[in-house]
Amino acid sequence: MPELFGSEFRLDPTRPIYLQIIERFQEAVARGVLQPGDQIPAQRELAQRIGVNPNTVQRAYREMEVMGLVETARGTGTFITLDAGRVRALREDLARQAVAEFVRRLQDLGFGQDEIVRRVAAALGTPVPGAGDLERGSHPDDPGRAFHAGSPGSRSPADRPATGSQAASPGNGSRVENQEGGTPS
């Protein structure tokens, strides 16, 4: 069995441990790391490996059995379900949750549905009619546009702050402001 709970596995103390164990197994099954019929570690073994109370692992295994993710055979062990339909449903459910979380985060940042669709399409390399170039900071509605105006990816010289000889100086028609925001007298 692949190492699911190796040194890179870190418990989040703000969330129930049994849920984190379940999520780890769900993700491994969804990614194909664990296949239907694969045996998973004994409860005591896993508890020792990750340094948690055996009752916590027992609860996680019990919940996974109720969910239909694993099947336990007395005296033999606990195995990933052989039910391919359950595995497909798990993958779909995890995908749905990930997309919902992604969309919610972008909406929290102020992006609308059309902008989210355009950005996802651009990230996938799938053109969307009217989407234009969605490089960070290049879309007029991009809240990061002002922040990234001076970055190499900005499109227009007008978007970039003046530097060196382009900086405001008397005689080039620009106004120079002092530290307090006013013009010098």
- 21 and 79: one domain? yes
Q: Is residue 157 part of a domain?
A: no
CA distance 89 to 2: 22
- 59 with 103, same domain: the answer is no
146 and 92 co-located in one domain: yes
**Mean per-residue pLDDT over the chain, rounded:** 78
93 and 56 share one domain: no
Q: Indicate whether 121 belongs to any domain.
A: yes
pTM summary value = 0.61
Position 165 pLDDT exceeds 80:
no
**Per-residue confidence band for 4, with pLDDT thresholds at 50, 70 and 90:** confident
Q: Say whether both 77 and 91 belong to one domain.
A: no
pLDDT 10s digits, 37-77: 999 999 999 999 999 999 999 999 999 999 999 999 999 99
Closest by alpha carbon to 34, among 91, 96, 102, 93? Answer: 91
Q: Which residues have C-beta within 8 Å of that of residue 161, sequence separation ≥ 6? A: 149, 150
**Alpha-carbon distance 53 to 102, whole Å?**
33
pLDDT digits (tens, 9 = 90+) for 169-182: 444 444 444 445 55
74 and 106 share one domain = no
- Looking at the structure, tell me whether residues 61 and 21 fall in a common domain: yes
111: containing domain = 87-151
Judge if 77 and 101 occupy the same domain: no
Which band of pLDDT confidence, cut at 50, 70 and 90, is reported for residue 6?
A: low
The tally of domains found in the chain comes to 2
- Express each pLDDT in 73-128 by its tens digit: 999 999 999 999 999 999 999 999 999 999 999 999 999 999 999 999 989 998 77
